[in-house]
Every structure is written in structure tokens, then in C-alpha cells.
Amino acid sequence: MFEIHYHLLFGLDDGPKTMEESLALAEASIAEGVTHIVCTPHSNDKYRFDPQVNRERMGMLQERLKDRLTLGLGCDFHLSYDNIESLQKDPKRYTINGTRYLLVEFPEFGILSNMQDWFYQMTAAGLVPIITHPERNPVLLQDPGRMAEWIRLGCLVQVTAASLVGRFGQRSQAMARSLLKKNWVHFIASDAHSVDGRAPAMKRAYEVLQSEFGQETAERLCITNTRAVYFGEFLPEQPEPEGVYSSLQPPKKSFFRRLFGG
Ligand SMILES: [Fe+2]
């Protein structure tokens, strides 16, 4: 399996504090059958994001892990004005392995009012935003339908493995399931931070997907699509997302247009 959202690098954010903690986390994922992890430290007003430091730290870890696990780099990109401004100057600073794919995280409370425009600009510039864990965002929990217009623009969606198995509560679990049923989910990722608190849960999530949504879905969300992102390839054809395009009905004819035609 491939992990595309993961706080593996030590001493950078609220992930592991030491090299040993990072290694313990890596071991937990190896035991789950993970072969590749994109290390995605936070970039927000709390944690400084420095690609050079990230690269060095990843190199140190890779050296210890040898070829038992392959590491890549990305960013848990917080959607703030400052970050978006910096992204416009240098997108590859934040994208997964320097590809077109970018993880994006909404603030906990309140989504930028012009989010649609930002996503439009990102996709027009060739980026593919991956909306991370909408099932854990209070605003989207209230109104998941908002995501339809973003998916229509070409955004993809990642759900947290632990949400699917109930570790973030019933509401998040129910929303994860409902998004899956509608084919609005493209990836499952652990977003792991530590072996005890926020541990990886890919194996368990894979099993849940397998039994509730079938083998094809489990493989597509945990292996095929995540591998494509890791290597910067196009995703294979995905099942039609329900209610995303069908909601685009032609506008009803107005009284005047009915009267005068056109
Ligand atoms: Fe994260």
C-alpha cells in the first residue's frame, strides 16, 4: 500500500518528536503492508515548513530504514491566504514528490468564501488539489454537498483511514461511508502522527472497504490511486461520482423566454 498523507518526520510538527518515534511509526506501517510513504509535515501558522529541512530529515530516516520502506515528500497544506500566495510562486515546494498533486486542508472553522475561485485557479494552473479528511471538518460535516462544485473542478478527495474504522467518532464515520457510497472518495490515508495516539490504520481500513465496498474499491483507494499520486501519474478512470454532474441541469426557461422563444 501507498500512504500519501503521513506525519512521519520527527521534530517538525505534531508528529513524532524523535528519530526513534519516527522509526516506530514506520515499523507500524511496514507491518501493515505499506511500501511507500509520502511524508507530509504541516504548513500553517503554528509549524514552519522548510523543504530543505524536510529533505534532510527524510534522508536520515531513509538511511535507517534502508529499502524496507520508500519515502517521498509532500505537505499537509493549510488553506490560508499566506500559503496560497506562496504556492502561486513555487507550487513544487508543496506538491507530492514535485508532481501536480497537492494535499489541501481546510481550517477547522470557516472555509474561505472564495474557495471555488482558488480551486479554479489551482486547477487552471495544472495542480490537482486533494481535499484531506472532509469527514473531520465541522463545516463540511454540516454541509458535505459543498464539495460537489470542487469535485467538478477536478479536486480529489482523501478520507482518513481511522475515520472509516470509527476512531474519529460516529459522525465522521457516517460521513466517510456516505462519501464512499457516492463515489466521492479517491484515496484513503492514515494521516498518522504517532504509534499510540494517531496510529496508522490502513490495514483495518482496507479490510472495512473490502467487506463493505468490495475488493475493487479497497484496491483502488489504497493502492492504485495512491500509487498514481506517488509517481505523479494520471488516475485510472474512476466510477461516476453521484450527484456531481447530474446536478447540472439546464436552467428552466424564464417566463419571457417561454413567451418569445430563444
Ligand atoms: Fe495531516
Per-residue pLDDT reduced to its tens digit, 4-44: 999 999 999 999 999 999 999 999 999 999 999 999 999 99
With a pLDDT cut of 70, the percent of the chain lying above it is 94
Instruction: Let me know: does 71 contact 8? Beta carbons within 8 Å.
Output: yes
Distance between alpha carbon 82 and the CA centroid of its chain, in Å?
Answer: 20
Q: What phi and psi values does residue 36 have, to the nearest 5 degrees?
A: -135, 140
Cell output for 6: 503521513
Q: Name the pLDDT band for 181 (thresholds 50, 70, 90).
A: very high
Q: 170 C-alpha to center of ligand 1: Å?
A: 20
Closest listed residue to residue 68, CA positions, set 12, 41, 99, 28: 28
DSSP letters, 194-241, are -SSSS---HHHHHHHHHHHH-HHHHHIIIIIHHHHHHHTPPPPP-PPP
Q: 105 C-alpha to center of ligand 1: Å?
A: 8
Q: Per-residue pLDDT for 262 more than 50? A: no
Q: 258 C-alpha to center of ligand 1: Å?
A: 52
Cell output for 150: 470542487
Q: 31 C-alpha to center of ligand 1: Å?
A: 21
Q: 198 C-alpha to center of ligand 1: Å?
A: 10
Q: Name the pLDDT band for 258 (thresholds 50, 70, 90).
A: low
For the entire predicted model, the pTM comes to: 0.92
Enumerate domains of the chain plus CATH numbers. 2-260 (3.20.20.140)
Q: Per-residue pLDDT for 261 more than 80? A: no
Place of cell 426557461: 253
| Number of helices (H), then strands (E), in the chain | 12, 9
Q: 5 C-alpha to center of ligand 1: Å?
A: 6
Give residue-wise pLDDT tens across range 96-140: 999 999 999 998 777 887 899 999 999 999 999 999 999 999 999
Q: 131 C-alpha to center of ligand 1: Å?
A: 11
Q: 257 C-alpha to center of ligand 1: Å?
A: 51
Q: Name the pLDDT band for 257 (thresholds 50, 70, 90).
A: low
Q: 48 C-alpha to center of ligand 1: Å?
A: 14
Closest listed residue to residue 184, CA positions, set 231, 247, 123: 247
Q: Name the pLDDT band for 253 (thresholds 50, 70, 90).
A: low
Q: Per-residue pLDDT for 236 more than 60? A: yes
